Structure 1
Amino acid sequence: MTARLVFPRRRVCLAAALAALAPLSACRSGPQGPLRLGCHPWPGYELFFLARDLGDWPADAVHLVEMPSASSSLRGLGTQSLHAAGLTLDEVLSARARGMDLRVVGVLDVSMGADVVLARSHLGSVAALAGQRVGVEASAVGAVMLDAMLSRHGMRVSDVRIIPLDVDQHEAAWRERRIDALVTYDPTAGRLLAEGARPLFSSAEVPGSIVDVLAVQADVLEPRATQIRAALRAHFGALAALRQTPQQHLPLIARRLGISAGELEASLARLELPGVADNHAWLRPGGRLQDSADRLRQVMVRAGLLANPPGLELLGSADFLPAGGAA
């Protein structure tokens, strides 16, 4: 049997990862060598690697570090072996709640259907989930999806039976019929839909709630501003190349992720990849990032994922983006 890649974007035990982070009160030294930017396998982060493969990566200024998981990226930020990393917005909020001063300098992707709630074919509505077993990962993403779906239909989490599942358990639990519904995401979602699962709800119905970003330690923003700008220029350059000739570039990304170009194309169709102009709208004061973070923080508090909710002041900055444009 061919091994399937499970994108580990959200498979992160934040409590364990953040507990391992050392206090960051000591200031970093000035820029010695390249900026170290860590990313783990996920389609929304792959434009950095595509830029590198195309020879457009600023290798002298930015060292792109391939990480195995979000947990390892968080540890790298905490131990100062990384200056920046690709993370979900909920991971940024959790890290800030634990005292890590992270700033968002770019919005890399927004889930627009890549996250779904699936049900058995005989369960034709959200109301039909009452008393049913719902598999869900113990993460902010799972909490956001479940909270949004149930609240829209006048239901509460207590109305269903929660079955905690790590993402690598999703398909087995579904096929072994240990659950009646499942909160999951691509590529697992695409495979189960092909097998007859019924979609009840998707992230397209809660736009802006599930977001991947480029997060940078606040104390390196000024001394490494030129390097941060170079990394973002490369990212948006790769995005422009992908949009212009997708059939040429999709295979390069798919090969790195260990999936087919068709699977990658289907996954990207359920993601929004914001360009430069969109990023300026997201990151301006009072923009979409602030709104999304505020809603996400409320859901995380209700789900018990944030005991000490962080402030949202100085969360994002558009200062490192290229000038506004279509790319």
Structure 2
Amino acid sequence: MKKFLALFFALTMTTALLGGCGSKSTEAPDSQAETTKTEETTKTAETTKQPAAEGDLAFYEGNTIIGQSSWIGFAPMYLAEQKGFFKNHGADVSIQLFESKTDSKSALMAKRIQGMSTTIDTHVLNKASGMDISVVLALDTSAGGDGLIAKSDLKDVKSLAGHTVALDTTGGASYFWFQYLLQKEGMTLDDVQAVNMSSGDAGAAFIAGEVDAAVTWEPWLSKAKETEGDSVMIDSSATPGIILDALAMDNDFIKSYPGTVRAIVSGWYDALDYIKSNPEDAYKIMAEYTGNDSGDSLKAAMESEIELYDEAKNLSYFETDIYTIADMASELWIDMGLINEVPDSKKMITGDYLERLK
């Protein structure tokens, strides 16, 4: 019996030792399992909270706000919000109306909004003023959608000398384009009586007879053509490629949530597809945003006065052209003394988010 007990004890110890030196046990005490699970959950939660590493597609769980005016070239953004195209790609996005470039700039600087749609020249000004932003998407170029409307006795830009001209002098397409027109004629803003107001208000003020001329956009260009004694002196079709609209976003947001940025870009592409496949519904929705009388009038304006940039055009445009326009704007602002240093267009423009999410 003693020999048997000794043998049994020896076998038991050997088995225990072999078990300790072998592979990991498939069972663990409940407390150990719970501890392991808690640690893993904590790590997962911490990873989720951290900004994404470059190349990761992290998405912002809150509401992303893009500020923009009622310009017809921005209308597809509103369409994408209304039709849920952003949400289809995992982003909750709202479009907020800002007719004043100063207001939208202030909101972006204060991080009340995360992105801003405006002209590339305005993005250059904002970047030069110290805003930490990057252009991530080209939206459209004006091909007749912006214009200088004037009384019929004013025949050309030089004839505006001494006359009242309403325009948004805080920046944006109207300001940049008008400065470009003046510079071509050897003039400056001091040669006219500039009246500062938003582009929409400028058009309305001109139609009401309160100013001699105005730099504005649709639907005010069409209204000027219909009003006796008024005319469109020149529109952006005479200056192709000068007025370019683009979306810029806060760099901290871009780095933390690249998935949301790509979702916004993808939603824009989806909106352009929807305009082609369901034009009646698309233009009806966008007309509500732009203030056009009807979807038909907006359709006519968008088809004849702007060129929208889809994925193929963006991928091509970001190879060289967008940098050329940004550099041209920088040179103009330097010549006018509005900025002291030219922003590096290669650093303020990125094509990393242009491919559509599947």
Q: TM-score range by the shorter chain?
A: 0.7 to 0.9
Does structure 1 residue 36 correspond to structure 2 residue 64?
yes
1:310 and 2:357 correspond: no
Quickly say closer, same or farther: Cα 1:231–1:93, change in 2 above 3 A. same
- d(CA) in 1 for partners of 2:103, 2:141: 22
1: distance between equivalents of 2:108 and 2:50?
A: 15
SS in 2 for 1:123: coil
- Structure 2 counterpart of 1:96: 127
- Spell out the pairing of 1:43-122 with structure 2 (5 A cutoff): 43-58=72-87, 61-69=90-98, 70-122=101-153
- CA deviations over 1:80-102 (Å, ceiling 9, x no partner): 34333323323322221122221
Aligned pairs (5 A) from 1:1-327: 30=51, 33-34=61-62, 36-42=64-70, 43-58=72-87, 61-69=90-98, 70-140=101-171, 141-152=173-184, 154-157=185-188, 160-167=191-198, 169-171=201-203, 173-175=205-207, 177-196=209-228, 197-259=230-292, 260-268=294-302, 269-284=304-319, 287-322=320-355
Query: 3-state SS of the aligned residue for 1:242?
Result: helix
Structure-2 separation of matches of 1:220 and 1:158: 37
Q: Relative to 1, partners in 2 of residues 1:310 and 1:29: Cα closer, same or farther, differing over 3 Å? A: farther
Q: Note the C-alpha offset of 1:35.
A: 6.3
Amino acid at match of 2:153: H
Higher mean C-alpha deviation, range 83-92 or range 52-61: 52-61
* 2:313 partner letter: D
Question: Deviation of residue 278 (structure 1)?
Answer: 1.1
Residues 297, 309 of structure 1: 8 Å contact kept? yes
The 1:105/1:60 distance shift into structure 2, 3 A limit, reads closer
Root mean square deviation, CA, Å: 2.9
Gaps of 5+ in 1: 1-27
- The AA in structure 1 aligned to 2:353 is F
Q: 1:59 to 1:188 in 2, by over 3 A?
A: same
Change beyond 3 A, Cα 1:134–1:51: closer
Could you report, residue by residue, the CA deviation over 1:292-327 in whole angstroms, capped at 9, with x for unpaired residues? 11111222233443344433232222221126xxxx
Q: With structure 1 as the length reference, what TM-score do the two structures score?
A: 0.78
Cα distance, 1:207–1:217 mapped onto 2, change above 3 Å: same
Normalising by structure 2, we get a TM-score of 0.72
Q: Amino acid of the residue matched to residue 207 of structure 1?
A: P
Which of the two has higher C-alpha Rg? Answer: 2
Q: Secondary structure of the residue that 2:86 maps to in structure 1?
A: coil
Which shifted more, 40-49 or 243-252? 40-49
User: Higher mean Cα deviation, 196-205 or 303-312?
Assistant: 303-312
Distance 2:81 2:162 in 1: 50
Deviation at 1:60, TM superposition (A): 7.7
AA partner of residue 53 (structure 1): Q
Report the equivalent of 2:15: none
**1:307–1:263 Cα change, 3 Å:** farther
Q: How far apart are residue 106 of structure 1 and its match?
A: 0.5
Shift in CA distance, 45/133, structure 1 to aligned 2, threshold 3 Å: closer
Q: Is the 8 A contact 1:38 1:66 kept in 2?
A: yes
The 1:80–1:169 alpha-carbon spacing in structure 2 relative to 1, beyond 3 Å, is closer
The more displaced of 96-105 and 69-78 is 69-78
Identity %: 22
1:242-288 C-alpha deviation (Å, 9 max, x unpaired): 0233223111211344432133224313121111111112222xx11
Query: Structure 1 residues 125, 46: closer, same or farther in 2, change over 3 A?
Result: closer
Residues 54 and 179 of structure 1: CA distance in aligned 2, closer, same or farther (over 3 Å): closer
CA pair 46-130 structure 1, distance change in 2 beyond 3 A? closer
Structure 2: which 5+ runs fail to align? 1-48, 52-57
